[in-house]
Amino acid sequence: MDRKKLFSLFILILGLTLIYVGYRDYQILSSQYNPLFTVSPDNETRWFIIIGVAAAVGGFIGIIRDEIF
């Protein structure tokens, strides 16, 4: 496996890990809510999910780029 694909695989795994951490934090936040207030994720949870999705998509595209083009 060449370095580009290995780096893309690392970015994909990092992105999936960030998505998992963000989702887990969101679940912890929603399990501890007060019924009088709506549950909204804090900024850190949002950024984990946003950066995780971007990294996962970038890593996936980096892996399949050589096969498509």
- Tens-digit pLDDT profile for residues 51-63: 999 999 999 999 9
What's the pTM value of the predicted model, to 2 decimals? 0.79
At CA 45, angle to CA 40 and CA 48, rounded to 5?
Answer: 150
- The C-alpha atoms of residue 43 and residue 48 are separated, in whole angstroms, by 9
Q: Which domain holds residue 58?
A: 3-68
Confidence of residue 26 (pLDDT cuts 50, 70, 90): confident
Kindly provide the residue ranges of all beta strands, DSSP E only, lying in the chain, ordered along the sequence. none
Q: What is the enclosing helix (H) or strand (E) of 69?
A: none
| Count of domains for the chain | 1
